[in-house]
Structure 1
Amino acid sequence: MKKILKWVGLAVLVLGAMWAAVFFIKSNSKSAITYETHKPFISSIEKKTVATGKVIPEDEVAIKPQITGIIDKIFVEEGAPIKAGDLIAVIKVVPNEQSLNQAQGRVRNAELALNNAKIEYDRNKTLYDKGVVSNQDFINQKLTYEQAEQELKNARADYQIIRRGSIGGSSAANTDIRATVSGTILEIPVKEGDQVIQSNNFNDGTTIASIADLSKMIFEGKVDEGEVGKLKLGMPLKISLGAIEDQEFDADLKFIAPKGVEESGAVQFKIEGDVEVGGDFMIRAGYSANASLVLEKKDSILVIQEALLQFDKETDKPYVEVATGEQEFERRDIEIGISDGVNVEIVSGLEKTDEIKQWNKTEPIKKGLEDDENADEDA
């Protein structure tokens, strides 16, 4: 009887061990992760790019003096509206000593020449009245006398311009700096007492003020060479400004640079677009801006979430895993089209009824392991 009980107990132990082994094997054969699946769906995709840049006036005019001197008085401030012809500043002329001396010498020479021409004219007139000198000789002498008079007038006028900045002491011609266009004063880079240089063939001259019409603004930015080939003149732009939140301005692409510039190892092309300024917004010159351009758009196409894609390590071709049963999946190669970074177009390889594995889901942390990690952090 004891032997029977002994063998029965041994059999129970063996059966228990076998059952435990089978349970362990079956438990380990099941996946620790339950994968979610998603179906393709119909949607629209816009492929966009963003160009960074700034908003500047379409036309900006630099006001420069026509005479060298010192700023005597400034009558406007930056940001003030101005009309064409309004007085901006007055220049006090500081004549060059050498030029002034030369002008004085020219006046003296013209006076001497005029005195000599007058003597000859008076003598020839007396002889002409007596019939000794021919009519042609008298006319020539009279012309010489009149030319000497005109030369003296010119010399005196040049002397006045060098000395005072204008003929007869009137400062309206050169020393008064006036606006040539209407708009807003953007900048006055000089102050009273600064010396300024006139604009000539060899020098741009000193800028006294810059004026622009802030109602006519353009976006100026740059795009990468990989995207410039997809741009076309007239494309719509959406302009967002860093200084004005939650507001977009419409613009039309009007210029694409024919030549790129290399910056940080990448070739960039300048673009410009006319910005439609409206409403009560004050857009200032130089605001940083971003322009959103739609490079490609497709409506009512089959798409999936881009996060569901996988790529072959050797061929770099895309594929997904499609459900064939309960937590059972098979690989399926697909062909994709455009993407907006969230969804991607499916050209071929999938149907709307396919269940696609969300492959990158991670296993949840077990409660016991989580408690041990928390205990380690507390320690």
Structure 2
Amino acid sequence: MSKRSKIILIVIAVFFIAALIWFGKKNAKSIVEYETETPFRTTIVKKTVATGKVIPLEEIEIKPQITGIIDKVLLLEGSKVKKGDLIATVRVVPNEQSLISAKGRVDNAKLRVNNSAVSYKRTKNLFDKGVIARTEFESVELTYNQAKQDLKNAQNDYQIIKRGSAGSGGSANTNIIAQMSGTILEIPVKEGDQVIQSNNFNAGTTIASIADMAKMIFEGKVDESEVGKLVKGTEIEVSIGAIEGTKFPAKLNFIAPKGTEEGGAVQFKIKADVSLDDKFFIRAGYSANADIVLVKKDSVLSIKEALLRFDKKTEEPYVEVKQADGNYEKKTLKLGTSDGVNVEILEGVTKDDEIKIWNKASKDDKKKED
């Protein structure tokens, strides 16, 4: 082989080696490129949602004052009533044994009255003639008056057992009237049903329930982890499932001092006065949700939560910030309030820092996190 051929081969070999080195270095560089974002100032609002329903503020149940059978139901559910309006009437069905016993007491009282009347007339004639003393006459007169009073009491007892009341007040017990103005929500009885008056051993039969539909409240429950952040008087928004696209303002006025366990979690009852809109008719028992602001911070330095990473060992949050040479430096952060999308930054980065937007995780990224 000639000297010229050797030189050509050597040059080709040098170029080939140089090309290999160049391609090797080029391939060694990461082909992954990252975009960046800078922190920004925004308002962060942390909310909780309480599920519940809207119910009337004032609702009463009307029960009978006597035991009997519903004779007539004069109004329907949904009717608007004023205090004193007649809703239904009750017919008394007396107990036969009690009725016979009461009738016997009346007859006995009449016998005593008749006997006392005869004695009274005889004694009065003698007293008028001066035959007997005044004290003896007054004693007989007292016995006669007591007998008449006993007869009256026995007759009243008989009328109460027979009709439900004595004298002209009979309708006061048999008439079921509205005790407040409002709307009849429910009449759970019908004509012919037997009803029982309330007493020490029985709550009695509910004939009707009435509520003022112009005053509604939201009643719901919140978890124990959030109840400590609630404050009475807080303005909230109530969304009613049956009325889409409308939120009703409300004010929190009650937070239960004691919780109840439901499904392994302790729930606390809350109530809020709802401001109604005349355009909508709100029915009692509508399901509703209440948006309650727990924390609100205005114009705080924030980043998107998607930019965060968490150290597997310390579990501390961090981001990677772009440096002047194009490399990224890990910065541990101290976080504040989060709304699920943005998170407040207390320490770690400034508003001018360029934070890496993480692409789909690669092996190199995983090695860095490890």
- The yes-or-no answer on 1:210 pairing with 2:202 is no
What is the alpha-carbon distance in structure 2 between the residues aligned to residue 358 and residue 82 of structure 1?
65
Aligned to 1:62: 61
* SS class of match (1:279): coil
Aligned to 2:105: 106
What is the alpha-carbon distance in structure 2 between the residues aligned to residue 87 and residue 3 of structure 1?
130
* Superposed displacement of residue 115, structure 1: 2.0
Question: What does 1:6-21 correspond to in 2, within 5 Å?
Answer: 8=8, 12=12, 15-16=15-16, 19-20=19-20
What is the alpha-carbon distance in structure 2 between the residues aligned to residue 214 and residue 328 of structure 1?
66
What is the alpha-carbon distance in structure 2 between the residues aligned to residue 315 and residue 100 of structure 1?
86
Question: What does 1:65-104 correspond to in 2, within 5 Å?
Answer: 65-104=64-103
* SS class of match (1:232): coil
Question: What does 1:115-134 correspond to in 2, within 5 Å?
Answer: 115-134=114-133
What is the alpha-carbon distance in structure 2 between the residues aligned to residue 64 and residue 352 of structure 1?
69
What is the alpha-carbon distance in structure 1 between the residues aligned to residue 156 and residue 118 of structure 2?
24
* Superposed displacement of residue 161, structure 1: 2.0
Q: Which moved more, 1:305-314 or 1:283-292?
A: 305-314
What is the alpha-carbon distance in structure 2 between the residues aligned to residue 171 and residue 346 of structure 1?
77
**What is the total number of aligned residue pairs between the two structures?**
362
Question: Structure 1 residues 3, 197: CA separation in 2 closer, same or farther (over 3 Å shift)?
Answer: farther
Question: Structure 1 residues 8, 204: CA separation in 2 closer, same or farther (over 3 Å shift)?
Answer: same
Please report the TM-score for the alignment, with normalisation by the length of structure 2.
Answer: 0.91
Q: Deviations over 1:147-199 (max 9, x none)?
A: 21122122112212211223358752211111111100101111111111112
What is the alpha-carbon distance in structure 2 between the residues aligned to residue 110 and residue 16 of structure 1?
138
Q: Deviations over 1:92-144 (max 9, x none)?
A: 22111122122112212211222232233223212222223322332232222
Q: Which moved more, 1:323-332 or 1:187-196?
A: 323-332
Q: Residue type matched to 2:303 in 1?
A: I
* SS class of match (1:246): coil
Question: What does 1:213-224 correspond to in 2, within 5 Å?
Answer: 213-224=212-223
- The yes-or-no answer on 1:235 pairing with 2:247 is no
* Superposed displacement of residue 14, structure 1: 7.5
What is the alpha-carbon distance in structure 1 between the residues aligned to residue 104 and residue 96 of structure 2?
12
Identity %: 59
RMSD, matched Cα: 2.2
What is the alpha-carbon distance in structure 1 between the residues aligned to residue 227 and residue 242 of structure 2?
27
* Superposed displacement of residue 305, structure 1: 0.9
* Superposed displacement of residue 29, structure 1: 2.6
What is the alpha-carbon distance in structure 2 between the residues aligned to residue 92 and residue 116 of structure 1?
37
Q: Deviations over 1:204-261 (max 9, x none)?
A: 1110110000111111111111111111111111111111111111111111111111
Question: What does 1:1-379 correspond to in 2, within 5 Å?
Answer: 8=8, 12=12, 15-16=15-16, 19-20=19-20, 22-31=22-31, 33-168=32-167, 171-325=170-324, 328-361=327-360
What is the alpha-carbon distance in structure 1 between the residues aligned to residue 326 and residue 111 of structure 2?
116
Q: Which moved more, 1:323-332 or 1:66-75?
A: 323-332
Question: Structure 1 residues 144, 5: CA separation in 2 closer, same or farther (over 3 Å shift)?
Answer: farther
Deviation >3 Å, runs of 4+: 1-18, 168-171, 360-363
Q: Is the 8 A contact 1:35 1:327 kept in 2?
A: no
Question: Structure 1 residues 9, 75: CA separation in 2 closer, same or farther (over 3 Å shift)?
Answer: farther
Question: Structure 1 residues 152, 329: CA separation in 2 closer, same or farther (over 3 Å shift)?
Answer: same
Q: Residue type matched to 2:29 in 1?
A: S
Please report the TM-score for the alignment, with normalisation by the length of structure 1.
Answer: 0.89
What is the alpha-carbon distance in structure 2 between the residues aligned to residue 2 and residue 189 of structure 1?
119
Q: Is the 8 A contact 1:160 1:169 kept in 2?
A: no
* Superposed displacement of residue 360, structure 1: 4.9
Q: Residue type matched to 2:133 in 1?
A: S
What is the alpha-carbon distance in structure 1 between the residues aligned to residue 330 and residue 149 of structure 2?
101
Question: Structure 1 residues 7, 215: CA separation in 2 closer, same or farther (over 3 Å shift)?
Answer: same
What is the alpha-carbon distance in structure 2 between the residues aligned to residue 132 and residue 37 of structure 1?
129
* SS class of match (1:30): coil
